[in-house]
Amino acid sequence: MRKYVCMAAIVLTAAGSAIAAPITPSFDDFGELAPATFGGDGIPNDPVAITTIIDGGNTITLGLASHGRFANPDQGNDGAGTYFARTGSNFGDPTFVTMPSSSLGATWNVNFYIDIAGGGSFDDYIIELVYDFDPAAGTDETDHGVLDFNGAITALGGDPALVSFTEGSENLLFSFFADGGLPFITVPTPGSFDPSAIGEYSLALIVRDTGGSELGRSAIHVLTTPEPSTMALLGMGGIGLALGGYRRRRNRNRTAA
């Protein structure tokens, strides 16, 4: 019987070793992951960055994606592993019973899916969610945070040897992602997530063997931009500054004349 563990409230420790290079989108297929619900209702499962790993008699399916949180609409994607999102934050939808309205989050979530078929379990692997707090493009993987699923399962009182499937949807603004006091999490550099920052965030779902050698990954980027109204205000501010400079130059020219 396949066991299921919901990761909706998990906090997690680093395992294995990160690669000294930026994370770039990586997957076998960017499309629908039909069995995925990501632990919620109405969370889209198309498109998802899907990777299939064959390891002996085990087939491991990884899925990683992003979507707009609650009433925040999805902002689309480029069809090649990069999702678009709006900056900002909000509280949870009070009508959604599994997520209280007091849960502050960014306007976008990260969705993950892990399925080990063929008789294997999480205990046979090191499986991590690697996440980014730095809005600058090309953040090195060594500066990412790491969530270790085996550590999470154990922390919740489970046995990784009995678990072969999990999925969920998380938000980088949830406090546990930045809590360095927890024994199950490695905090990224910088140590906090700013949902108002404009930039690029890279994330990866990575599987390693118990010796630490990587077997495969699904990786995505999320690009954040302001709401169009905010962009318009920024643009008007820029125009105002330019006109102000123009007026000052004109006044100086008149004085000189």
- Asked if residue 21 belongs to a domain, the reply is no
Whether residue 255 has pLDDT greater than 70: no
- Asked if residue 248 belongs to a domain, the reply is no
Contacts of 13 (CB under 8 A, 6+ apart): 146, 148, 151, 183, 184, 185, 186
The mean-pLDDT minimum among 24-28, 70-74, 125-129, 207-211 falls in: 70-74
- Asked if residue 243 belongs to a domain, the reply is no
Which letter does DSSP use for residue 162 in this model?
G
Whether residue 184 has pLDDT greater than 80: yes
- Asked if residue 153 belongs to a domain, the reply is yes
State pLDDT tens for residues 190-246. Answer: 999 999 999 999 999 999 999 999 999 999 999 999 987 444 444 544 444 444 444
Distance CA 10, CA 252 (A): 62
- Asked if residue 236 belongs to a domain, the reply is no
- Asked if residue 252 belongs to a domain, the reply is no
CA dihedral 176, 127, 203, 179 (to 10 degrees): 20
Bond prior to 188 in cis (omega within 30° of 0): no
- Asked if residue 237 belongs to a domain, the reply is no
Report the domain count for the chain.
1
Helices (H), the chain: 149-155, 228-256
- Asked if residue 20 belongs to a domain, the reply is no
Counting Cβ atoms within 10 Å, is residue 102 exposed (0-12), middle (13-18) or buried (19+)?
exposed
pLDDT (0 to 100) of residue 100:
56
Host domain of residue 185: 29-226
| pTM over the 0.85 mark | no
State pLDDT tens for residues 58-113. Answer: 999 999 999 999 889 999 999 999 999 999 999 977 665 555 556 899 999 999 99
Q: 């078929």: which residue's tokens?
A: 117
